[in-house]
Every structure is written in C-alpha cells, then in structure tokens.
Amino acid sequence: MSGEIEIPVRELSLLINHQLGQHFYDFVNTYRIENAMNMLKDETKSKVTILEILYEVGFNSKSSFNTAFKKHTGTTPTLYRKNL
C-alpha cells in the first residue's frame, strides 16, 4: 500500500494509527472481515467452508480469523452464517 501512494511504510502506519485510531493490522482486518461477511451472506457460496473463506480473505489461521471476526461482529463466523 505504501508503494502505491509512495510514502514510507512507517509513515503510512503512523497515519493510520493517528487518523483512524487503529493499528495497521486492525485496519486491514476490517476489510478482510467485511469481505468474509459478504461471502458468508452469499447463497451461492453456502457450500464453501469457513476455512476456505478465511484463506481466501487473507488470514493464515483459523484462530486469528475467529478472533478478528468476533472483535468486528461480536459473534463467531459459524454463528454469523447460521443466523442469516
């Protein structure tokens, strides 16, 4: 991202921290979780597993995905899908 807007990584991180009140990883995870939520809502993807979704949106582990998902939505991905 910093390469695209041509500023050093550290400056971009500080900008996100100060302007958005978030750490860089929380900022990125917000977009990942929103993408995952859209996939979970998509009826054409009802057979896609949570594990497949977490890898597709950029997470590398189920525990980090579940933690970020619950932080963002207040529920687990499985319960989120079930309650749709």
Q: What is the pLDDT of residues 2-50, one digit of tens each?
A: 999 999 999 999 999 999 999 989 999 999 999 999 999 999 999 999 9
> For 20-33, what is each residue's pLDDT tens digit?
999 989 999 999 99
pLDDT of residue 8: 94
For 76, which DSSP code? -
Phi, psi of 6 (to 5 degrees): 55, 50
Stated pTM of the model: 0.86
CA of residue 1 relative to chain centroid, distance: 16
> How many Å apart are CA 41 and CA 43, to the nearest integer?
6
- What's the one-letter identity of residue 38? N
pLDDT of residue 67: 97
> For 52-80, what is each residue's pLDDT tens digit?
999 999 999 999 999 999 999 999 999 99
| 8 Å CB contact between 84 and 42 | no
pLDDT of residue 1: 85
Nearest of 22, 78, 67, 44 to residue 13 by alpha carbon? 22
